[in-house]
């Protein structure tokens, strides 16, 4: 129990500690209201502001206006979560593994990030090689031209440079021997953008 919090603030903080990983993205106040069964967003906003003032959570500066826990020692103690393999080629099924990887601070952003290991050679002209570990900032949107983790048809993940048009999404490889992959917008879900890369030489 944090002595500086009211019982209600402690309850909200405990809920966030236990359940934040269950949200697909940093939750908004509306989503927290629904999850906590609260009818007044204004009341929750005051409680959340108190937790922000206490340095226990922080607002996300994105269009969703979500929040996340503040844990400055996360990377030193626990590392970033390793969520398996990502195809740099044809999509393969994303495999989630509950491990962590130590990542230097300069290779990731202050937003939630995770690590994937590359399989395939479709991004070699961007210097992304089979076996590399890449750091992904968790996001559900991207600008055209960014390299993204794209979930296709809800089950297969791939790493490509994205081009978004009103009627289609084009995933561009960085390999002259491969062709772009074209999907309907509803087939593609952005799961993050590439922000860092690590390689081990044997």
Q: Which helix (H) or strand (E) holds 190?
A: strand 188-198
Strand partners, 159: 149
Is residue 87 situated within a structural domain? yes
pTM: 0.60
| Domain span including residue 43 | 7-69
3-class state of residue 36 by DSSP: helix
Mean local confidence (pLDDT), 88-117: 76
Residue 18 has pLDDT above 50, yes or no: yes
The string of pLDDT tens digits covering residues 59-70 is 765 545 677 777
Q: Are 86 and 46 contained in the same domain?
A: no
Q: Are 173 and 85 contained in the same domain?
A: yes
Rounded Cα distance, 137 and 151, in Å: 15
User: Last residue of a domain, which of 19, 35, 69?
Assistant: 69
User: Last residue of a domain, which of 69, 97, 112?
Assistant: 69
3-class state of residue 23 by DSSP: coil
Q: Which helix (H) or strand (E) holds 75?
A: helix 74-77
CATH number of the domain within which 26 lies: 1.10.10.10
Is residue 92 situated within a structural domain? yes
Residue 121 has pLDDT above 80, yes or no: yes
Is residue 128 situated within a structural domain? yes
Least confidently predicted of 48-57, 140-149, 177-186: 48-57
Task: Let me know the angle formed at the C-alpha of 7 by 72 and 61, rounded to the nearest 5 degrees.
Answer: 40
Give catalytic residue positions.
122, 160
Q: Which helix (H) or strand (E) holds 44?
A: helix 41-53
How many domains is the chain built from? 2
Alpha-carbon dihedral 111, 115, 116, 122, rounded to 10 degrees: 60
Neighbouring CB atoms inside 10 A of 143's CB total 9
**Dihedral of CA 35/98/114/141: which sign?**
negative
CATH number of the domain within which 143 lies: 2.10.109.10
Residue 126 is predicted with a pLDDT of 96
């Amino acid at each position: 129990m944090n002595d500086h919090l009211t019982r209600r603030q402690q309850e909200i903080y405990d809920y966030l500690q236990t359940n934040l990983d269950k949200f697909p993205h940093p939750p908004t106040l509306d989503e927290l209201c629904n999850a906590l069964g609260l009818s007044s967003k204004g009341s929750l906003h005051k409680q959340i502001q108190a937790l922000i003032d206490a340095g226990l959570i922080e607002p996300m500066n994105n269009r969703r206006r979500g929040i996340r826990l503040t844990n400055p020692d996360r990377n030193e103690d626990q590392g970033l979560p390793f969520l398996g393999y990502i195809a740099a080629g044809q999509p393969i099924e994303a495999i989630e593994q509950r491990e962590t990887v130590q990542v230097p601070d300069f290779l990731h952003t202050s937003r939630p990030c995770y690590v994937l290991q590359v399989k395939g050679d479709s991004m070699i002209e961007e210097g992304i090689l089979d076996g590399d570990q890449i750091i992904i900032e968790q996001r559900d949107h991207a600008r055209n031209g960014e390299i993204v983790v794209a979930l296709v048809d809800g089950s297969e993940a791939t790493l490509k440079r994205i081009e978004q048009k009103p009627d289609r999404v084009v995933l561009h490889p960085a390999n002259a021997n491969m062709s772009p992959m074209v999907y309907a917008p509803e087939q593609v879900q952005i799961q993050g953008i590439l922000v860092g890369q690590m390689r081990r030489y044997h």
